[in-house]
């Protein structure tokens, strides 16, 4: 099928008080049964989804600028993805690629190899989530280099399994009472261009931030010949939608080359076209040694992938695997997703992302509370501050903006301590982008003018 995606509905349509009666009952069940560790920002109880629209259990229609945390790259229930999943489910659901063979595994590997951000040949290991892809990368880096240390960044989010959590350093709550974590991880500063010291040029600040690794960490704490990997997001996601300056990534590559360290680029959130290129690291001109992939790869089916330069994957049978990893149904969804991304959605992410940024880059000078707007493609962060000179974090106001937008029928999430994240499906239209920006702008103005009233959600 080679149809262009068309959406029947453009924007929100809220018909009940939120939450509606059916949602309100479900929230009680959820409270009774589900883990209290989930971080729900508002009471959205989803029933169906098409394109960028989510319909809740009471029939309210929301414009989804969260995409299930940057997952539904082709939109909700894209017809080609649905057809591929249905066909594959009728033929073969599972056979475990760890112990048997099936053709979908290599078919997807070949498709990814053709768009890889580093020269081939490549090798692949399949899992079920972003965290699992990160686990595989960390384990392979140790296995291949026979070294133990890993350098990661403040603000980074790589997942919540013990290994991935050990390199995660985004919110203390994510780590609280789980220590001791995997030893050998050292966190270092990540460049934040909005918060660089006054009077220092972008390049000097970027170089100084990178130099900390060689001048301090390697000199005082981690002998570089014992460092297995540096793991980095080309756009920090959970940390606040902060793009990594190309010069910083180049400095990391230089250090890795100098000391024989693996450069792992975590593309779980920023990959699969979200930034307007297949991979966020492509914006930096650097070729990593390994990349981790999940979220947008399969439009919502669980799939996590480690892709490496082939010669690095030198582990032997038994070293690493996962029963469900590379499940045929998830792979079928991924192949259909790549078709849609290749044909239209990566380009659309670039085009609509640029269109949005054109308007939103005026917000820091125009709108109250907005300190910074940054991002690449359809991965845009809006940082809210109380005082634009002092850049004091306005985290509570950020939460209020997100809540008000929900009441108006647009789904955003937060990221970092005080930013609103925009991560819509990559197939959104200009009209939908306008609706989301209008709502966000209005909510920011309302909060700034003290019009926020805590919603009564029961
Ligand atoms: C950059 C990055 N890496 C890894 C993960 C973990 O992925 P998952 O939640 O699928 O385990 C996330 C999730 O938000 C992420 O943003």
| CATH assignment at residue 282 | 3.40.640.10
Phi then psi for 214, rounded to 5 degrees?
A: -75, -40
Q: How far is the CA of 269 from the centre of ligand 1 (A)?
A: 6
In a domain, 374, yes or no: no
pTM of the model: 0.97
Query: From the CA atom positions of the chain, what is the Rg in Å?
Result: 22
Rounded CA separation 271/280 (Å) = 6
What is the 8-class DSSP label of residue 183? S
In a domain, 309, yes or no: yes
With CA atoms as reference, report the closest residue to 247 among 205, 197, 217.
205
Strand order in 379-384's β-sheet?
Answer: 370-376, 379-384, 419-422, 413-415
In a domain, 123, yes or no: yes
Q: How far is the CA of 52 from the centre of ligand 1 (A)?
A: 21
Rounded CA separation 352/86 (Å) = 31
Strand order in 46-50's β-sheet?
Answer: 46-50, 53-56, 61-64, 410-411
Rounded CA separation 98/85 (Å) = 21
In a domain, 169, yes or no: yes
Residues 6+ apart with CB under 8 A from 444: 363, 367, 368, 369, 370, 382, 384, 401
- Please list the pLDDT of the chain residue by residue as tens digits (458 residues): 344 444 446 889 999 999 999 999 999 999 999 999 999 999 999 999 999 999 999 999 999 999 999 999 999 999 999 999 999 999 999 999 999 999 999 999 999 999 999 999 999 999 999 999 999 999 999 999 999 999 999 999 999 999 999 999 999 999 999 999 999 999 999 999 999 999 999 999 999 999 999 999 999 999 999 999 999 999 999 999 999 999 999 999 999 999 999 999 999 999 999 999 999 999 999 999 999 999 999 999 999 999 999 999 999 999 999 999 999 999 999 999 999 999 999 999 999 999 999 999 999 999 999 999 999 999 999 999 999 999 999 999 999 999 999 999 999 999 999 999 999 999 999 999 999 999 999 999 999 999 999 999 98
> What number does the ligand 1 atom closest to the CA of 266 have?
1
In a domain, 384, yes or no: no
Query: Which residue range(s) make up the domain with 111?
Result: 82-339
Check if 75 has its Cβ closer than 6 Å to any atom of ligand 1: no
Read off the tokens for 185: 């991880």
In a domain, 95, yes or no: yes
End-to-end Cα, the chain, rounded Å: 46
Check if 261 has its Cβ closer than 6 Å to any atom of ligand 1: no
Q: How far is the CA of 159 from the centre of ligand 1 (A)?
A: 5
Please tell me the total count of domains within the chain: 1
Check if 168 has its Cβ closer than 6 Å to any atom of ligand 1: no
In a domain, 396, yes or no: no
Rounded CA separation 8/30 (Å) = 31
Rounded CA separation 453/353 (Å) = 31
> What number does the ligand 1 atom closest to the CA of 233 have?
1
In a domain, 344, yes or no: no
Rounded CA separation 51/63 (Å) = 9
SS3 (DSSP) at 265:
strand
């Amino acid at each position: 099928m080679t149809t262009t995606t068309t959406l029947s509905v453009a924007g929100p349509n809220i018909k009940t008080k939120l939450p509606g009666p059916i949602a309100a009952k479900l929230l009680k069940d959820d409270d009774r049964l589900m883990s209290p560790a989930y971080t729900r920002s508002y009471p959205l109880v989803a029933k169906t989804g098409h394109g960028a629209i989510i319909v809740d259990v009471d029939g309210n229609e929301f414009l989804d600028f969260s995409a299930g945390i940057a997952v539904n790259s082709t939109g909700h229930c894209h017809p080609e993805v649905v057809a591929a999943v249905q066909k594959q489910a009728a033929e073969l659901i599972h056979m475990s690629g760890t112990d048997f063979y099936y053709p979908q595994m290599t078919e997807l590997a070949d498709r990814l190899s053709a768009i890889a951000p580093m020269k081939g040949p490549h090798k692949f290991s399949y899992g079920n989530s972003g965290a699992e892809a990160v686990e595989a990368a960390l384990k392979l880096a140790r296995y291949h280099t026979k070294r133990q240390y890993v350098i990661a960044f403040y603000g980074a989010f790589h997942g919540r399994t013990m290994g991935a959590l050990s390199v995660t350093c985004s919110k203390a709550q994510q780590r609280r009472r789980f220590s001791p974590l995997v030893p050998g991880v050292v966190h270092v500063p990540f460049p934040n261009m909005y918060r660089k010291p006054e009077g220092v040029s972008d390049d000097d600040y970027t170089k100084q931030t990178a130099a900390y690794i060689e001048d301090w960490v390697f000199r005082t704490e981690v002998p570089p010949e014992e460092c297995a990997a540096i793991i980095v997001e080309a756009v920090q996601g959970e940390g606040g939608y902060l793009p990594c300056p190309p010069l910083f990534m180049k400095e990391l590559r230089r250090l890795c080359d100098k000391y024989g360290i693996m450069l792992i680029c975590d593309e779980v959130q920023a990959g699969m076209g979200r930034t307007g290129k297949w991979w966020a690291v492509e914006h930096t001109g650097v070729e990593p040694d390994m990349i981790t992939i999940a979220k947008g790869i399969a439009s919502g089916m669980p799939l996590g992938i480690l892709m490496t330069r082939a010669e690095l994957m030198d582990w032997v049978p038994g070293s690493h695997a996962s029963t469900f990893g590379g499940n045929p149904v998830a792979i079928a969804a991924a192949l259909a997703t790549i078709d849609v991304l290749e044909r239209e959605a990566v380009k659309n992410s670039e085009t609509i992302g640029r269109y949005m940024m054109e308007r939103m880059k005026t917000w820091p000078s125009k709108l109250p509370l907005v300190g910074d707007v940054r991002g690449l493609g359809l991965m845009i962060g809006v940082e809210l501050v109380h005082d634009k000179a002092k850049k004091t974090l306005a985290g509570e106001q950020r939460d209020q903006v997100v809540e008000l937008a929900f009441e108006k029928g647009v789904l955003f999430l937060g990221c970092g301590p005080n930013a609103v994240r925009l991560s819509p499906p990559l197939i959104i239209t200009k009209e939908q982008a306008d609706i989301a920006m209008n709502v966000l702008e209005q909510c920011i103005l309302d909060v700034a003018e003290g019009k926020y009233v805590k919603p009564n959600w029961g």
